[in-house]
């Protein structure tokens, strides 16, 4: 057998072996890391990358760094070409050249076999704090990169096995709790060394040439598989637009546009039309939106197979420079996970038109980063609480969503800590951890419910920071299903609820007092199908379990529950009334109205606004789409009364609604989707 | 007097009897009756009694001293969700904890899956109750238990006809008073209902894991209670002195009464017997470092034991729920004799995780199976014979096996059926090897320093291939490899585990607190073993501390160094173990002790088996046949031996095949084989590992 030739069986053995190296790396890092987001949330990736920066092996536990890792390696290869030696260690976190938020620090570790560069084990992990404005580094109000912490362009921190002390000291001096950060650094380094040992064993057993030939074959095979799946899709263009919350008080929502073009066995995803970078944390370098795009394509086309670079070859992702999805210096990039999620929701909406049978309601759209910092009176030491509560997942064509659980785009790791651990390490009392009633998106199948978690502050004072999204524009429903309740953060002081920020979901250092209760409420998942088609007994079951109040059962589903039973005649009447109250309009295409930030506008006559109950220009409505996800639009007006039976929409809405001129569409206000009991 | 081990598996119930008078060991098998497992056990017992009586030559003179039983009833009840109607009582605000947990999916391969559905919680919401009470992290009562409100909950439980109640309050590991008071009140108000307070099941912090384990305990409590009571009554008939012990997942056994109170300790105990026996057999053969490889029809359980001590973990999952009871630390991989080989449309060869099971089974069973399994591949390679199972129907079945392998080879672009079959075996082996790597190299242990102990129906056939991949030079195949789990029941020690959460630094100031905790645990262990009828002289205690660097989330178990206890010695042991596991240690960093653990142990007293010379044979080998066997090096005409007739301490070189009831051992070219005086086969690599 030639060294370059690999038989099918050796190929399987090597694939299994390379993935097992990654699993060993993961186990090592989880067991030794100091940052809770590494060992609890597993917000890190271990990857093997080849000499050209291509992913060779990855265990699929956490998808959020799929693109950032090879991006960082290529950045390193560009800067240190000819100056890479055994024992060198590189760090990188710069978002503009492929990083995520500054907390995610990549370690790149070249492994040599007989003087030849074999592979790079790479670990990208979220360190608990990298400096910046607020404890934990991420907050809802940073506006430039300097607020986010210390920025590390590609940097050599060990040379031929020797740590460069001055560089590391400088780095740790700019982070909070440097002892823990050193711990994270050491565990990452140890993890790379474990990988090095294993790669050398593999190379000495099979020969480096065979390993290289095998990795080439594995990439080709993944490419072929992806091409076959794409070729099975109908050629054409599919589009959706998705909105993030306003980045600051008074600002407009932020738009993420996705157009999928299927041509033969390849596919382009173009994010053109998306909003410009924002004056807030919700920006990112180019790698995160690409990751979001890939997560959705992988989910629809090739779930259950290992990820390697071959998967990416048939896919071309275009991200306009200067948009919030591919921002320029010095934009803050603290909200990289919200950016990734925005790409996920936009591509999900477009992909749903291609494969409606697989489509599901929308998800929470954010990490819900929540930090509480203060001084613990038990030992006068500072504490830092950090959680990122999961929400409900979207309903599908066959089943309800799941409540308060990690969704399809997230690794399977805890988003909340044990209350008993929190109370040991923080001056906080966890008073409630419950399913959040009425938070699901209604539908023939309903979305999952979010959770509510209440924490009482026991320290004299505290600081609350939150970076979240979908606090204003909630997760969408599909095929007529309703929106999930938005994420919501409140402080309960002296029995009264107050908002910790005038911009919902964006909080930086809100001052807390002893006795305050911080209430985290995560979003519900989007619903699927018409809620009036839901079996009344299923609605009753949710009411009996206390997940749904009777008021919501009646308002959303037209189901009247009385003394623990469904009142049949009253339900029939209520459903009939709800159906009759629905507002249909004919589509009237207009030239795209020039509006601020390119938000989707819909023009309605005054009488039409009145029919839709109290609506005013600037209000958000949902235009239900038979093609899947509903279209969000802001009321523009007024149109002439002659057009009272129609809705004026920009021509590009055609691509989303797939409705011709004059076709009927239903419009509803957000409140009759789902948002709190009456 | 006799000691009997009975192990219920999914397909077979195995029994092994040790007769103290004759020092003879006999083994038998019966089909398991699903849903009526007690009947299978009694059937086996009767058969064993009859057989033993016959051997003794005096009817009725049968004394049974001890029956050790391994049961999967609890495990199956959980997996099939056939348990009691259970309720949960939680601290106010936490009744949904069972459903929310840590917000994990707790299921493999669910990333990128939009259609994933989380299983419903074992206890529905109307049976989960908030209780007014609160204790803080220091164990101080912030709000007393509201007994009147609890009484009305008890009434609701009665209305719902609840059979079992899990009580889990926050910080009950630090102060169990509210859980104790709740138990007293409920047992009074609801006679006959199984009440399980969490501090009794898992007296450790982290409420979700404690809750799920307690709920599982309550869920299977009434079922196990009825089963064990029936078994005990049946056993006591005619055997007043016989004592019944139950296998726990920790690899130790517990008296019946204990099993009835914390039945959750039996869950996932299935593979524990084999591991225990494997360690014992390796030790008897002079080896302290052993990797056990128990390959059955659907899966393979692997376990690494270093220094002759079983490693115990408390981080387990069952049915998407954390199960925090001590369990032998092992890995299970879905590759066994029945694993199905298939080729994806892209030409990728897969083996498993799907298994043909026992119905339809591999093609060669002739029961309608049509897909190539690992067993079929071995048959086609000549490593396995069908003669014993299928008698005269070999030829047509062989044709079916051949054409199925041909079809598979076409799909994979391989032109030789033997190469294809060998590939199927190697891929199955690769999955086992990956699973062994995870428990060895990734935990800092070098597999080359271990022997491989192979058992289970399919283990001895693949053992040297596994060993080649890992660079292991010696494979051991014990006596009764096909009944080895039942044998393990006889050799398991009696064991009780105790733990206390400390969460203190490891400093000279705190070490006395740690010592006091260990002393308290030792006292409890002795009291409990005395209740079981053992004297202090028979009891040994094994102490460990769960430790981590301050700020980390996961702790590693550190054996407690010799007395007097010093922080310095404990720290040194921690840094040393940590560096071995993870490649580096930070000796300047503060260290935290999370839990103190203590196992109270009474060793079993069963001697090692002896290789018996078969009667009427001059001690020479008996050749069953010679047959053509396919190896990587080519096809060879290979002798097939009957294991019982292989002379002791007379090594011979491979290739060879060794057959016995329930298992086949393949000695590959380059390996030699010796049967030792304890009836263990030693397969030794002739050339040093590649």
B307 pLDDT more than 90: no
* Lowest-confidence region among A213-217, B245-249, B350-354: B350-354
pLDDT in tens, B148-175: 999 999 999 999 999 999 999 999 999 9
Q: Is residue A64 one of the residues assigned to a domain?
A: yes
Is residue A93 a part of any domain in this protein?
yes
Whether B589 sits inside 8 A of A414 (CB atoms) is no
Q: Give yes or no for residue A58 having a pLDDT over 90.
A: no
How much is the average pLDDT of A61-73?
84
3-class SS at B400?
Answer: helix
Within an 8 Å CB–CB cutoff, is residue A421 touching chain B? yes
Three-state DSSP state, B598? strand
Instruction: Show residues of chain B in contact with A415, CB under 8 Å.
Output: 102-103
How far apart are the C-alpha atoms of B71 and B63, rounded to whole Å?
Answer: 23
Is the pLDDT higher at B233 or at A568? A568
Q: Which of A23-37, A385-399, A403-417, B193-207 has the lowest mean pLDDT?
A: A23-37
Q: Which residues face B290 on adjacent strands? A: B305, B451
**Residue A55 in domain:** yes
Split at pLDDT 50, 70, 90, the class of A676 is very low
Residues with Cβ within 8 Å of B618's Cβ and at least 6 positions away in sequence, in order, are: none
For B1-32, write each residue's pLDDT tens digit: 788 888 887 666 788 888 878 877 787 777 67
Rounded percentage of chain A residues whose pLDDT exceeds 90: 76
The segment with the largest mean pLDDT, out of A362-376, B255-269, B355-369, is: A362-376
Query: What is the pLDDT, as a whole number, of residue B442?
Result: 63
In this structure, are A540 and A620 located in the same domain?
no
Interatomic CA distance for residues A296 and A394, integer angstroms: 14
Q: Is residue A656 included in any domain, yes or no? A: yes
> What are A321-367's pLDDT values in tens digits?
999 999 999 999 999 999 999 999 999 999 999 988 899 999 999 99
Residue A546 shares a structural domain with residue A642: no
Which structural domain, as residue segments, surrounds residue A645?
583-672
Residue B4 Cα, gap to closest chain A Cα (Å)? 40
Average pLDDT, integer, range B568-596: 88
Give the pLDDT band (50/70/90) at residue A27.
Answer: confident
User: Does A520 lie in the same domain as A477?
Assistant: yes
Q: Which helix (H) or strand (E) holds B129?
A: strand B128-131
Give the pLDDT confidence score for residue B562 in this predicted structure: 80
Q: Under an 8 A CB cutoff, do A434 and B95 touch?
A: yes
Q: Which of residues 516-545 of B touch A (CB under 8 A)?
A: none
Using a 10 angstrom Cβ sphere, with 0-12 exposed, 13-18 middle and 19 or more buried, the burial of residue A165 is exposed
pLDDT exceeds 70 at position A560? yes
Winning range, highest mean pLDDT, from A227-241, B273-287, B320-334? A227-241
A382 touches B at CB < 8 Å: no
pLDDT digits (tens, 9 = 90+) for A76-112: 999 999 999 999 999 999 999 999 999 999 999 999 9
Element containing residue A219 per DSSP (H, E): helix A208-231
Count up the domains in chain A and report the number. 4
Chain-chain contact of A403 with B99 (C-beta, under 8 angstroms) = yes
Residue B505: how many CB atoms within 10 A of its CB? 15
Residues A574 and A447 in one domain: no
Is any Cβ of chain A less than 8 angstroms from the Cβ of B580?
Answer: no
Burial class (CB in 10 A: 0-12, 13-18, 19+), B688: exposed
pLDDT digits (tens, 9 = 90+) for B311-331: 888 888 888 899 999 899 888
Does residue A307 belong to any structural domain of this protein?
no
Q: How many CA atoms lie within 13 A of A396 on its CB side?
A: 15
Co-location of A593 and A644 in the same domain: yes
Residues A478 and A596 occupy one common structural domain: no
Are A418 and B583 in contact (CB < 8 Å)?
no
Residue B551 with chain A: CB contacts under 8 Å: 34, 179-180, 183
Residue A522 pLDDT exceeds 80: yes
Q: Which residues contact A59 (CB under 8 A, 6 or more apart)?
A: A19, A22, A23, A26, A46, A306
pLDDT value of position B613: 62
Asked if this assembly's ipTM is beyond 0.90, the reply is: yes
pLDDT tens figures, A369-422 = 999 999 999 999 889 999 999 999 999 999 999 999 999 999 888 899 999 999
Q: Is B274 exposed, middle or buried (0-12, 13-18, 19+ CB in 10 A)?
A: buried
Closest chain A residue to B93, measured at CA: A432
| Domains defined for chain B, CATH in brackets | 339-423 (no CATH), 494-602 (3.30.1490)
Q: What φ, ψ does residue A339 adopt, rounded to 5°?
A: -65, -45
Predicted TM-score of the model (pTM): 0.89
Examine the fold and report which residue of A524, A555, A580 is the final residue of a domain before the chain moves on. Answer: A580
Q: Is residue A509 part of a domain?
A: yes
- Is A299–B112 a contact, with Cβ atoms under 8 angstroms apart? yes
Place of tokens 């009554």: B233
Out of A224, A249, A264, a domain closes at A224
**Residue B422 pLDDT exceeds 90:** yes
The position carrying tokens 């009777």 is A550
Tokens 């074999």, residue located: A118
More confident residue, B130 or B690: B130
pLDDT at A674: 37
Residues A481 and A404 in one domain: yes
B552–A33 CB contact, under 8 Å: yes
Claim to verify: residue A539 and residue A528 sit in the same structural domain = no
Test the B interface: residue of A357, A420, A523, A544 with most B CBs within 10 Å? A420
Q: What is the pLDDT of residue A60?
A: 62
Whether residue A180 is found in the same domain as residue A214: yes
* Residues A260-295: tens digit of each pLDDT: 999 999 999 999 999 999 999 999 999 999 999 999
Token pair of A457 as six digits = 């502050």
Task: Report pLDDT for A539.
Answer: 98
pLDDT at B544: 92
Grade residue B444 by pLDDT with cuts at 50, 70 and 90: low
Residue A341 placed within a domain:
no
Q: Chain A neighbours among B 69-88 (CB < 8 Å)?
A: none
- Quote the strand ranges of A68-143, DSSP E: 89-92, 104-108, 111-113, 116-126
Q: How far is B232 from chain A (nearest CA, A)?
A: 40
* Co-location of A504 and A599 in the same domain: no
A549 and A628, same domain (yes or no):
no
* Residue owning tokens 């301050």: B550
Q: Is the pLDDT of residue A673 over 50?
A: no
Cα separation, B356 vs B358, in Å, equals 6
pLDDT at A268: 98
What integer pLDDT is reported at residue A624 of this predicted model?
Answer: 94
Cβ atoms of B376 and B411 within 8 Å: the answer is no
- Domain boundary (A174, A198, A224) is at A224
- Total residue count of chain A as it appears in this document: 678
**% of chain B at pLDDT higher than 70:** 92
Both tokens of A598, joined, read: 């390119």
Q: Which of A47-56, A652-661, B61-70 has the lowest mean pLDDT?
A: B61-70
pLDDT given at position B616: 47
> For residue B61, is pLDDT > 50?
no
> Closest Cα to residue B627, out of B667, B657, B665, B582?
B657
Question: pLDDT grade, residue B378 (50/70/90)?
Answer: very high
Q: What is the overall mean pLDDT for chain B?
A: 87
Q: What is the pLDDT of residue B160?
A: 97
pLDDT band at B690 (very low <50, low <70, confident <90, very high): very low
Q: Give the mean pLDDT of chain A.
A: 92
Residue A590 domain flag: yes
Residues A457 and A369 in one domain: yes
- What stretches of A253-396 show up as alpha helix (H) in DSSP? 286-301, 336-354
The whole-number pLDDT of residue A671 equals 63
Q: Determine the average pLDDT of the residues in B248-255.
A: 90
Task: Please state, in angstroms and rounded to a whole number, the distance separating the CA atoms of residues A641 and B107.
Answer: 56
Q: Which of residues 346-385 of B touch A (CB under 8 A)?
A: 346-349
E strands, A176-313, are: 236-244, 254-263, 266-270
What is the residue whose two structure tokens read 């590759």? B335
For the beta carbon of residue A64, count every other beta carbon within 10 angstroms.
26
The confidence band for A448, taking pLDDT boundaries of 50, 70 and 90, is very high
> Exposed/middle/buried for A669, CB within 10 Å: 0-12, 13-18, 19+?
middle
Query: Judging by DSSP bridges, how do beta strands B451-455 and B474-477 pair with one another?
Result: parallel
Dihedral pair phi/psi, residue A590, rounded to 5°:
-125, 170
Which residues 19-38 of A are in CB contact (within 8 Å) with B? 20, 23-24, 27-28, 30-34, 36
Distance CA B240, CA B64 (A): 9
Percent of chain B with pLDDT over 90: 49
- The answer for residues whose C-beta is within 8 angstroms of residue B80's C-beta and 6 or more apart is none
Q: Is the pLDDT of residue B392 over 80?
A: no
| Mean pLDDT in residue range A216-221 | 93
- Share of residues in chain A with pLDDT > 70 (%): 97
The Cα–Cα gap between A230 and B280 comes to 56
Total residues belonging to chain B: 690
Q: Mind telling me how many Å the CA of A213 is from chain B's nearest CA?
A: 16
Residue A390 C-alpha, separation from nearest chain B C-alpha, in angstroms? 6
């Amino acid at each position: 057998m030639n060294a370059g030739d690999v038989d099918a069986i050796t190929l399987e053995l090597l694939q299994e072996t390379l993935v097992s190296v990654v699993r060993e790396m993961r186990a090592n890092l989880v067991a030794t890391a100091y940052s809770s987001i590494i060992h609890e949330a597993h917000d890190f990736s271990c990857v093997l990358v080849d000499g050209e920066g291509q992913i060779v092996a990855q265990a699929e536990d956490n998808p959020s760094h799929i693109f950032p890792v090879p991006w960082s390696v290529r950045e390193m290869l560009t800067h240190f070409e000819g100056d890479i030696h055994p024992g060198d260690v590189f760090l990188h976190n710069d978002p503009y050249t492929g990083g995520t938020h500054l907390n995610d620090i990549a370690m790149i570790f070249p492994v040599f076999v007989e003087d030849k560069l074999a592979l790079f084990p790479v670990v990208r992990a979220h360190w608990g704090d990298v400096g910046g404005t607020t404890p934990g580094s991420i907050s809802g109000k940073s506006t430039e990169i300097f607020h986010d912490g210390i920025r590390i362009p590609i940097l050599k921190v060990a040379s031929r096995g020797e740590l460069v002390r001055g560089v590391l000291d400088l780095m740790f001096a700019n982070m909070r709790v440097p002892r823990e950060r050193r711990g994270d650094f050491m565990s990452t380094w140890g993890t790379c060394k474990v990988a090095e040992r294993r790669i050398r064993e593999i190379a000495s057993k099979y020969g480096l040439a065979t390993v290289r030939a095998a990795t080439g074959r594995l990439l080709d095979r993944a490419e072929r598989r992806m091409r076959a799946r794409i070729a099975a899709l109908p050629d054409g263009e599919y589009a959706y637009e998705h909105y993030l919350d306003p980045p600051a008080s008074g600002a407009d929502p932020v738009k993420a546009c996705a157009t999928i073009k299927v041509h033969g066995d390849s596919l382009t995803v173009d994010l053109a039309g998306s909003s410009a970078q924002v004056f807030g944390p919700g920006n990112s370098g180019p790698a995160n939106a690409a990751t979001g795009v890939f997560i959705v394509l992988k989910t629809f086309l090739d779930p259950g197979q290992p990820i390697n670079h071959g998967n990416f070859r048939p896919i071309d992702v275009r991200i306009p420079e200067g948009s919030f999805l591919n921002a320029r210096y010095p934009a803050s990039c603290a909200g990289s996970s919200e950016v990734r999620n925005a790409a996920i929701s936009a591509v999900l909406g477009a992909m749903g038109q291609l494969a409606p049978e697989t489509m599901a309601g929308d998800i929470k759209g954010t990490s819900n980063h929540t930090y509480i910092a203060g001084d613990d009176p038990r030992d006068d030491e500072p504490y830092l609480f950090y959680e990122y509560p999961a929400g409900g997942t979207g309903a599908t064509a066959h089943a309800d969503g799941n409540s308060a659980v990690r969704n399809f785009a997230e690794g399977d790791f805890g988003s909340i800590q044990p209350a008993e651990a929190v109370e040991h390490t923080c001056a906080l009392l966890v008073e409630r951890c419950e399913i959040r009633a009425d938070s699901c998106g209604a539908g023939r199948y309903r979305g999952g419910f979010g959770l509510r978690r209440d924490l009482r502050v026991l320290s004299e004072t505290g600081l609350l920071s939150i970076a979240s999204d979908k606090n204003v524009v909630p997760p969408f429903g599909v095929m007529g299903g309703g929106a999930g309740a938005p994420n919501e953060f409140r402080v309960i002081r002296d029995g009264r609820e107050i908002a910790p920020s005038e911009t919902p979901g964006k909080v930086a250092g809100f001052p807390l007092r002893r006795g305050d209760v911080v209430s985290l409420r995560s979003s519900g998942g989007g619903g699927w199908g018409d809620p009036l088609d839901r079996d009344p007994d299923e609605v009753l079951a949710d009411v009996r379990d206390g997940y749904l109040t009777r008021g919501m059962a009646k308002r959303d589903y037209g189901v009247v529950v009385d003394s623990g039973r469904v009142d049949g005649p009253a339900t029939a009447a209520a459903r009939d009334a709800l159906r009759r109250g629905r507002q249909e309009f004919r589509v009237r295409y207009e030239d795209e109205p020039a509006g601020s930030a390119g938000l989707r506008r819909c023009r309605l006559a005054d009488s039409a606004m009145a029919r839709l109950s109290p609506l005013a220009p600037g209000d958000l409505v949902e235009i239900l789409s038979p093609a899947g996800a509903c279209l969000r639009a802001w009321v523009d007006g007024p149109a002439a009364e002659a057009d009272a039976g129609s809705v004026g929409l920009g021509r590009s809405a055609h691509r989303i609604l797939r409705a011709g001129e004059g076709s009927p569409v239903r419009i509803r206000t957000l409140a009759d989707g789902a948002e709190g009991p009456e | 007097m006799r000691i009997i081990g009975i192990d219920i598996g999914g397909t077979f119930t195995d029994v092994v009897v040790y007769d103290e008078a004759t020092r003879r060991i006999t083994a038998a098998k019966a089909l398991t009756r699903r849903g009526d497992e007690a009947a299978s056990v009694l059937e086996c017992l009767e058969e064993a009694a009859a057989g033993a009586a016959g051997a003794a030559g005096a009817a009725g003179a049968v004394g049974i001293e001890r029956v050790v039983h391994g049961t999967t009833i609890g495990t199956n009840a959980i997996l099939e969700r056939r348990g009691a109607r259970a309720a949960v009582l939680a601290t106010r605000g936490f009744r949904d904890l069972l459903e929310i947990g840590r917000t994990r999916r707790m299921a493999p391969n669910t990333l990128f899956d939009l259609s994933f559905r989380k299983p419903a919680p074992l206890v529905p919401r109307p049976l989960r109750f908030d209780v007014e009470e609160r204790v803080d992290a220091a164990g101080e009562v912030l709000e007393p238990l509201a007994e009147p409100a609890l009484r009305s909950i008890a009434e609701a439980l009665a209305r719902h006809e609840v059979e079992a109640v899990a009580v889990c309050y926050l910080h009950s590991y630090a102060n169990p008073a509210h859980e104790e008071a709740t138990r007293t009140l409920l047992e009074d108000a609801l006679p006959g209902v199984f009440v399980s307070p969490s501090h009794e099941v898992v007296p450790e912090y982290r409420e979700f894991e404690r809750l799920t384990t307690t709920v599982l305990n309550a869920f299977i409590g009434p079922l196990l209670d009825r089963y064990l009571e029936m078994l005990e009554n049946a056993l006591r008939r005619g055997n007043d002195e016989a004592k019944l012990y139950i296998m726990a997942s920790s690899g130790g056994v517990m008296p019946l009464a204990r099993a009835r109170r914390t039945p959750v300790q039996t869950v996932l105990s299935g593979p524990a017997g084999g591991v225990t026996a494997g360690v014992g057999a390796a030790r008897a053969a002079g080896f302290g470092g052993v990797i056990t490889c128990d390959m059955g029809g659907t899966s393979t359980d692997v376990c690494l034991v270093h220094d002759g001590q079983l490693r115990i973990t408390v981080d387990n999952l069952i049915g998407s729920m954390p199960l925090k009871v001590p369990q032998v630390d092992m890995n299970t991989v879905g590759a066994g004799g029945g694993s199905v080989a298939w080729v994806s449309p892209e030409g990728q060869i897969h083996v498993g995780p799907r298994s043909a099971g026992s119905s339809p089974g591999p093609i060669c069973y002739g029961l309608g199976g049509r897909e190539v399994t690992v067993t079929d591949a071995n048959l086609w390679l000549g490593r396995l014979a069908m003669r014993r199972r299928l008698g005269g129907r070999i030829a047509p079945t062989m044709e079916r096996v051949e054409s199925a392998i041909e079809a598979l080879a076409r799909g994979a672009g391989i032109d030789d059926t033997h190469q294809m079959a060998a590939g199927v075996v190697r891929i199955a082996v690769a999955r086992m090897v990956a699973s062994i790597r995870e428990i060895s190299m990734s935990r800092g242990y070098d597999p080359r320093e271990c022997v491989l102990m192979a058992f289970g129906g399919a283990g001895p056939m693949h053992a040297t291939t596994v060993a080649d991949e890992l660079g292991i030079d010696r494979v051991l195949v014990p006596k009764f490899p096909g009944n080895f789990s039942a044998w393990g029941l006889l050799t398991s020690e009696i064991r009780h585990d105790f733990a206390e959460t400390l969460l203190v630094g490891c400093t000279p100031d705190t070490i006395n607190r740690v010592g006091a905790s260990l002393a308290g645990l030792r006292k409890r262990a002795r009291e409990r073993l005395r209740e079981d009828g053992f004297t202090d002289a028979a009891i040994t205690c094994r102490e460990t501390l769960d430790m981590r660097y301050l700020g980390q989330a996961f702790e590693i178990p550190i054996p407690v160094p010799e007395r007097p206890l010093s922080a310095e010695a404990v720290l040194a042991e921690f840094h040393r173990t940590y560096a071995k596991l993870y490649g580096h240690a930070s000796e300047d960093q503060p260290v935290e002790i999370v839990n103190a653990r203590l196992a109270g142990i009474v060793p079993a007293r069963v001697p090692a088996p002896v290789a018996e010379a078969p009667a009427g044979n001059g001690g020479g080998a008996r050749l069953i046949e010679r047959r053509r066997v396919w190896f990587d090096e080519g096809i060879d005409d290979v002798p097939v031996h009957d294991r019982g007739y292989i002379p002791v301490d007379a090594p011979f070189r491979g290739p060879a095949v060794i057959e016995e009831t329930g298992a086949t051992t393949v000695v590959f070219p380059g390996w030699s084989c010796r049967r030792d005086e304890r009836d263990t086969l030693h397969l030794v690599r002739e050339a040093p590992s590649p």
